[in-house]
Amino acid sequence: MTTIPLLDRLVRKARSRSPWLFHLNAGSCNGCDIELVAALTPRYDVEQLGIRLEASPRHADVVVVSGPVTRTTRPAVETIYAQVPEPKVVVALGSCPASCNVFAGSPTIEGPLDRIIPVDVYVPGCPPSPHAIIAGIAQAVAILANGGAE
């Protein structure tokens, strides 16, 4: 049986109580992006739970990806995923990162997302409601509290 050092336990507890999200648009129509921003507004107010958008992937715990991953955005998706420190969780926001939706079969589409990077949580919908997004983020936080990817 291995013991978890005190510092590791402290970091894990702090991350589970205030997850920082990095949002990455990988070629979406912006429908999911608008709903994600709506979840951060005072009506839903997830910031009171410590959840907030972070401008740098190097400070984020959760990567939220919207869009089907285009040929142009694929390098950015891979680079940003590599920049997020471990443990990290990836949330696929909407139908596009899960299946490419109406963009499937296009020669400019490289997705779905799980072909490029591992996905931990799928939030279904086109676009998903703020309630569904919050539920997906809560699922990601639970994974993060357990030390990362399941």
Which tokens is 23 given? 């949002």
Q: What pLDDT digit, counting tens, does each position of 23-54 carry?
A: 999 998 999 999 999 988 888 888 777 888 89
Q: Which of 93, 123, 111, 89 is nearest to 30 (CA)?
A: 93
Instruction: Please enumerate in sequence order all residues whose Cβ is within 8 A of that of 87, keeping only pairs 6 or more positions apart, or say none.
Output: 15, 61, 144, 147, 148, 149
Say which DSSP state 107 is in. Answer: T
Domain architecture of the chain: domains with CATH: 18-145 (3.40.50.12280)
Cis? peptide before 87, omega within 30° of 0: yes
Q: What pLDDT digit, counting tens, does each position of 109-144 carry?
A: 998 999 999 999 999 999 999 999 999 998 998 898
Q: Which of 86, 112, 85, 91 is nearest to 23 (CA)?
A: 91
pTM of the model: 0.85
Q: What distance in Å separates the CA atoms of residue 128 and residue 107, rounded to the nearest whole number?
A: 26
Radius of gyration in angstroms for the set of CA atoms belonging to the chain, rounded to a whole number: 15
User: Coil, strand, or helix at residue 54?
Assistant: coil
- pLDDT over 60 (residue 16): no
Q: What pLDDT digit, counting tens, does each position of 53-70 carry?
A: 899 999 999 999 999 999
Q: At what angle do helices 31-39 and 130-145 cross, to 10 degrees?
A: 70
Span 69-74, average pLDDT: 95
Q: What are phi and psi of 89, to 5 degrees?
A: -130, 140
